[in-house]
Amino acid sequence: MLAQVHPILFHIGPVFIPSYGAFTALGVVLGLVLALRTARMAGVASGSLWNLCIVALFTALVGSRLLLVLVNWAVLRSHPSWLFGLAMVHHPLLAAVGSALALLAGLLYARHYAMPFFSTADALAPPLALGLACEQFGSLLAGSGFGTSARVGWAIVYTSPFAARWSGTPLGIPLHPVQAYSGVAFLTIALLLLVLLPGRAQRGDIAGLWLLLSGSAIYFTEFWRDPFGRGLVLHGALDGPQIAAIALVLLGGLVLLQRATPSAAPALEPASPEAPHA
């Protein structure tokens, strides 16, 4: 049975609420709420972790939107009203740039306030996985990062011209709901990490598992994702996200291999002092 999904969640008069933006915002809210809990579980000051998240999110949002403006500057000069539609645009390059800027901002903030590195990373892992799950479900409704053509009973068909306009989604063709595959994978990772966090053997274990599992999820789901705009390499054998996924898996393996001997295993780091609230 084919399911139809729509990039517009609902509208109030002339104001449209895009599905992708709404679900991404939901993921941010749920991730921030969960971070307050995981901070206590990991021995990190909740106020400091909250502020770090806000700084990272703001940096990612502003940086990725500025990049979009620069890339489309010639078009925006002729049609300045299109600037209001940029918030609805989603592209792998924007996600990569936003993630890199968020990571840099988070690292600088954590270093400035002397936050314990591995404990902070452990506390952030489950909320990040939850946020990515919501983002992927939003992508499913919006049509961004769409899947390859499919002949399965759970295929989806996009019919809204907004999906084609914003994401280049093919209309009227049954596609694999690869965003749902990825969303379920990230949701499962979030739940697993949340269960394992209180009993972690040492600092960094949860962050290492996040890197390993998230990289694996990204790598394998890409086989059902259309290669449109994803940077094919090695004559199409891999794409950009899969290269990044391999790097995540290798980094996660390195983190997990850096294990202290039982006699030398340090106690959990104390919570860092509270940073000024943003």
Condensed to tens digits (0 to 9), the pLDDT of residues 199-214 reads 999 999 999 999 999 9
Residue whose entry in the numeric block shows the structure tokens 């972790």: 49
What is the rounded CA–CA span in Å between residue 127 and residue 107?
A: 17
Q: Mean pLDDT highest for which of 149-153, 236-240, 264-268?
A: 149-153
Ordered by start, the domain boundaries in the chain are 3-8+16-257
Q: Which two tokens stand for residue 71?
A: 């890339």
Residue 188: pLDDT band with limits 50, 70, 90:
very high
**Two tokens, residue 242:** 């899969």
Residue 84 scores a pLDDT above 70: no
Among 4-8, 34-38, 253-257, the range scoring the smallest mean pLDDT is 4-8
The predicted pLDDT at position 2 comes to 56
Q: Is the pLDDT of residue 51 over 60?
A: yes
- Provide the pLDDT for residue 263: 42
Q: Is the model more confident about 66 or about 102?
A: 102
What is the tens place of the pLDDT at every residue in 114-137? 999 999 999 999 999 999 999 999
Task: Output the CA–CA distances (angstroms, integers) from residue 84 to 51, 87, 174, in the order listed.
Answer: 28, 7, 31
Residue 89 has pLDDT above 50, yes or no: yes
Indicate if the pLDDT at residue 194 is higher than 80: yes
Confidence band of 192 (pLDDT split at 50, 70, 90): very high
pLDDT of residue 93: 65
Q: How confident is the model at residue 74 (pLDDT cuts 50, 70, 90)?
A: low
Residues 6+ apart with CB under 8 A from 133: 27, 183, 184, 186, 187, 190
Is the confidence at residue 77, as pLDDT, over 60? yes
